Amino acid sequence: MTRITRRAALGAGAALALPAAPRAQGAFPTRPITVIVPNPPGGGTDFAARLFQEGMQAALGQPVVIENRPGANGNIAINAVARAQPDGHTLLLQYNGYHAGNPAMMQNLTWDPIRDLAIVGMATMAPHVILVAPNVPANTLAEFIAHARANPGKLNYASSGNGSIQHIGGVLFSRAIGAEMVHVPYRGAAPALQDVAGGRVEMFITTPSSAVALIQGGRVKALAMASARRASGLPDVPTTAEAGLPGFTLDAWFAFAAPAGTPRAVQERLNAAIRGVAEQPAVRQRAEQAGASTAAMTLAELDALARREVAELGAVIRAAGITIE
pLDDT digit string, tens, across residues 187-222: 888 899 999 999 999 999 998 888 999 999 999 999
| pLDDT for the residue 24 | 38
Q: What is the mean pLDDT of each run of 10 residues along the chain (325 residues)?
A: 34 35 62 96 91 98 97 94 98 94 92 98 94 98 98 95 84 94 91 96 92 94 94 92 94 95 98 98 93 93 95 85 79
| pLDDT for the residue 176 | 94
Is 48 in a helix, a strand, or coil?
helix
Phi-psi region of 68 (alpha: psi -120 to 50; beta: other; left: phi over 0): beta
| pLDDT for the residue 22 | 35
Is 247 in a helix, a strand, or coil?
coil
For the question of whether the overall pTM of this predicted structure is more than 0.85, the answer is no
What whole-number distance in Å separates Cα of residue 23 and Cα of residue 280?
31
CB 123 within 8 A of CB 49: yes
| pLDDT for the residue 26 | 60
| pLDDT for the residue 209 | 81
Please name the residues in contact with 73: beta carbons below 8 A apart, sequence gap of 6 or more. Answer: 98, 102, 106, 161, 162, 163, 164, 324
| pLDDT for the residue 126 | 87
Ordered by where they begin, the domains of the chain are: 31-125+252-320 (3.40.190.150), 129-249 (3.40.190.10)
